[in-house]
Structure 1
Amino acid sequence: MKVELKKIFQVMPLFFNALAREAEHKKLTRHIINLNQQNSTQAIINEMSVCLKDILNYRLFAFVIQRENGIDVWLDPRMYRKSLEAVLMEDFQLHTPSAIHYMNHTFHVDEQEQEFNMENLLSYYVNEGVCQAKIYMLPNKDTSSYSEDIIHMLLQSTAIALAKQMNIEQLTNAATIDPLTGCYNRREFESQIKKAVATAKRQNTSLSLFMFDIDHFKKVNDTYGHQAGDTVLKEVAALVQKNIRSNDVIARYGGEEFIGILPATEKRKAMELADRLRQAIEAKTINTDVSPINVTASFGVATITPYYDTTDFSDILDLIEEADSMMYKAKLNGRNTVMPGLLQVCGSSREKTATATGTI
């Protein structure tokens, strides 16, 4: 009897191990199905993070996707970026932290730093079609061949889902994004402004536009060449994108003209933002292959206030024309300045003032 009990006790761990692993494989299958049903890069990575925690009790520290102009980083919200930033700079041979774009984390000046022991940090490369990435994890226990198998199965499934999603995003971006500046193109702006006006009307809030043009841009092209001019456009666009809110919209309207949509923004706030952008552009030295270049920009601002009636697209055209008119008035007044539009639409009546004519 004692011998039989001894055999039973010897087999029991193997039996329960087998049951546990079967349950874990069911969880893994469920998570893999879930991540393939997600429709955004961030949602796919979120599901992967949940899976690692659920099955292995591992914490996904960061998921890094390599792009042409830098890296996109999904960062565990409980982590602080400086804990990993030096590692990322070295691993991806980045020259400046500005090449790191954080997908799911907004940092504040007064945010309390948290330091982490990086000695146990594990990293794995992901390579599947257009998806070139690397993940960083902090295990809460020693790794085993079994945990490695789980990780590799999950990585392969995540890579396939991400590659599919990135292909979809590339097709979408080709139709909506200006390839030079990374801003929305004019066609997508027209779609975005319709949505913004409809939202403002529904929520009874103000809506502002700003339009700006890089001053003497033809002279930049004539003096330094079109390649340097393209660099100026890209750098100015990146500067503006970095200094507006996540729900604001910036689009390349044509040539060296850009237009921005500021939801739920009164004219005074829009003017303040436009002037901050103007100052930032003026202060920035843009390094090109030919020579460092400094430029300025002229801004026009227009606002529609609550209680307006936007029953057709002509109301939206009035708003755009007012911002454009104010931009040209800024040029007439010496450039490198901001001019406010006085457009106000109330009910079915419209009042437009302070228009300007002239060719710059």
Structure 2
Amino acid sequence: MSKTLDRFSHRLSVVFGLVFGSSLNRAHAQNKLARHIVALNGKTSSSEIINEVADCLKGILGYRLFAFVNKKNAGVDVWLDPRMYKTSIEEVIIKDFQVKDTKDLTYLNIEKGREECLEQFGMDSLVHYDHKEENCYSRLYMMPSRPITKFHDDVVRIILQGCSAALSKQINIQRLQDAAAIDPLTGCCNRRAFEAQLKGHAASAGRHGKPLSVIMFDLDHFKAVNDTYGHLGGDEVLREVSRLVRRNIRTEDIFARYGGEEFIAILPETDQAHAIELADRLRQEILAFPIPFSNRLIRVTASFGVAQLGAAIDIEKLIEDADSMLYKAKFNGRNTVMPGLIKVHRDETSPSLIQTKRSLILQ
């Protein structure tokens, strides 16, 4: 790290010696940029790092950071000027990074589904700078308030280099954290990480008076899958089912491998009725999902148990309730959800009267 800062310091001295006329202005600007570069390495999240870059560009050059895009192995992160319409630059990002859909973009500082009611900008004056690190590729988009000179260009590149180095370090830290929290076979959370997440989400639900539910499911007759296709076939089933579920839940939901062929998901701000509906959709998706393996197709089903956190915020009881419902689902023939879906029935003798009853889906 000290060698990196020494290189930055040398480049700053050269650049600012050319850009600024007086030694006083030169020293002030150089110190200001050096502080920003050092601050970048102290940030603990991508958003904090890029916010620092935005402040640096504005404070030293008067330039406006329009957007910052960081492409990693895991996806594409986007930081966006909070005053602008997303659609103003989304098409540019999709084209530049060859992204199939906006769903593949993760916004670091803006709600993806927010109401777009802010400023619009023309793209005519948009410029960009690129920098590549070993584990990421960064692009900085900005709208300069004046023509970019060679000297301003050098300053921007120094800022981008410092930012990319900080982001690369953050990615490596996250990778180490993920290694301790991720199940290596399926790529979802492991049980220890799940339990830690559940404590935090349960405390938050109790504090804010929000519902929280969990879905627990188990692949039916999984031993027969291993006996028929071998453990490699069984592993492929676990991987593909995990991917299927992750595609069909929200990004804020926590999905984990609970043990063997058993999985569990935390659904923040979700009551039991909606959790049951999601569980049944997942059940149908798994039922209809053929998994290719060794020139054959493996088909599996799953049984689901659903429970909602009670007023006492008892995590152990929540897991026990979900496990109990999963046991009942298996006892009732498997490939089902317990409790069952709530269906609405109209009394034909009295059209104005709506009756509701709970019915179990047994298929």
Q: Bin the TM-score by the shorter chain.
A: 0.7 to 0.9
Per the TM alignment, residue 170 of structure 1 is displaced from its structure 2 partner at its CA by: 0.9
**Counterpart residue type for residue 83 of structure 2:** R
> Which residue number corresponds to residue 239 of structure 1?
247
Give, as a single letter, the amino acid of the residue that structure 1 aligns with 2:53.
M
What RMSD in Å do the two structures reach over aligned CA positions?
A: 3.7
Match of 2:13 in 1: none
Q: Does the CA-based 8 Å contact 1:231-1:288 persist in structure 2?
A: no
The answer (yes or no) to whether the contact 1:213–1:298 under 8 Å persists in 2 is: yes
Q: Once the two structures are superposed, what CA deviation does each residue of 1:283-328 show, in whole Å capped at 9, x if it has no partner?
A: 88989996999876543111232135x5xxxxx3442232123134
Q: Separation in 1 of the partners of 2:171 and 2:244? A: 26
Normalised by the length of structure 1, the TM-score is 0.72
Q: 1:18 to 1:234 in 2, by over 3 A?
A: farther
Q: Is 2:217 the counterpart of 1:212?
A: yes
Residue 123 of structure 2: SS of its match in structure 1? coil
Q: Which residue is 1:329 aligned to?
A: 328
Query: What are the ranges of 5 or more consecutive residues in structure 1 without an aligned counterpart?
Result: 1-13, 311-315, 342-360
Q: Return the match for 2:134 from 110, 129, 135.
A: 129
Per the alignment, in what secondary structure is the counterpart of residue 217 of structure 2?
strand
Give the partner amino acid of 1:236: L
For structure 2, which runs of at least 5 residues remain unmatched after alignment?
1-18, 341-363
The 1:334–1:58 alpha-carbon spacing in structure 2 relative to 1, beyond 3 Å, is farther
Match of 2:196 among 186, 191, 212: 191
CA contact (8 A) 1:28 1:55 kept: yes
Cα distance change on mapping 1:78 and 1:96 into 2, 3 Å = same
The match for 2:63 among 55, 58, 61 is: 58
Contact 2:72 2:136 in 1 (8 A): no
CA distance in 2, matches of 1:116, 1:109: 18
Question: Between the two proteins, what is the percent identity of the paired residues?
Answer: 48
Query: May I ask how many residue pairs the two structures share in their alignment?
Result: 319
Tell me how far 1:51 sits from its aligned partner: 1.3
Q: Point out the more displaced range, 18-27 or 272-281.
A: 272-281
Counterparts in 2 of 1:36 and 1:140: CA distance versus 1, 3 Å: same
Give the AA of the match of 2:250: I
- What is the TM-score with the length of structure 2 in the denominator? 0.72
> 1:61–1:136: 8 Å Cα contact kept in structure 2?
yes
Q: Deviations over 1:111-150 (max 9, x none)?
A: 4586532232222222233233222222222111221121
Which secondary structure state, in structure 2, belongs to the residue aligned with residue 156 of structure 1? helix
1:142-187 per-position Cα deviation (integer Å, ceiling 9, x unaligned): 1112211211111121122222222111111100123454432111
- Say whether residues 1:44 and 2:49 are aligned partners: yes
Instruction: Out of 62-71 and 293-302, give the one that drifted further.
Output: 293-302
Aligned residues of 1:330 and 1:339 also touching (Cα < 8 A): yes
Partner residue of 1:139 out of 144, 151, 175: 144
Query: Partner amino acid for 2:30?
Result: H
Map Cα deviations across residues 305-360 of structure 1 (whole Å, 9 max, x no partner).
2135x5xxxxx34422321231343344455543239xxxxxxxxxxxxxxxxxxx
CA contact (8 A) 2:72 2:135 kept: no
Write the mapping of 1:249-328 to structure 2, written as runs, cut at 5 A: 249-263=254-268, 265-275=270-280, 277-278=282-283, 297-307=302-312, 310=314, 316-328=315-327
Which residue matches 2:80? 75
